[in-house]
Amino acid sequence: MCSDCSLCVCVLTTVCCWYRLPHLPVELGQCSLKAIWLSENQAQSMLKFQEDVDEQTGRIVLTCFLLPQQAYHTESMGQSPLYVLSCNLYVFLKY
């Protein structure tokens, strides 16, 4: 997920399940999100995030107990986990 996400002022929900995200950009905290879904069995729509430093880039990032994400796979998939390369941002405009 890119750091430009803070420009999305109307984004209320983001679904980031199964994306193997190591962390979230700190700029995501500037959005007025009502829900961030990191897991398909997540109990609450919003989690408590902490700031951390990405060791590879030195940038400040957001993390929580669900990060980094693990590869998604089921028994029927065998040994090949599913990797998804993008995150979905759902925009709901309030009129």
Render pLDDT for 9-58 as a digit per residue (tens, 0 to 9). 666 788 888 788 899 999 888 888 889 989 888 999 999 999 999 999 99
Per-residue pLDDT, 75 = 61
* pTM of the model as a whole: 0.70
pLDDT at position 57 is 93
Residue 74, pLDDT score: 57
User: What is residue 94's predicted lDDT score, i.e. its pLDDT?
Assistant: 47
Q: How confident is the model at residue 95, as a pLDDT?
A: 43
Q: Tell how far CA 65 is from the center of its chain.
A: 12
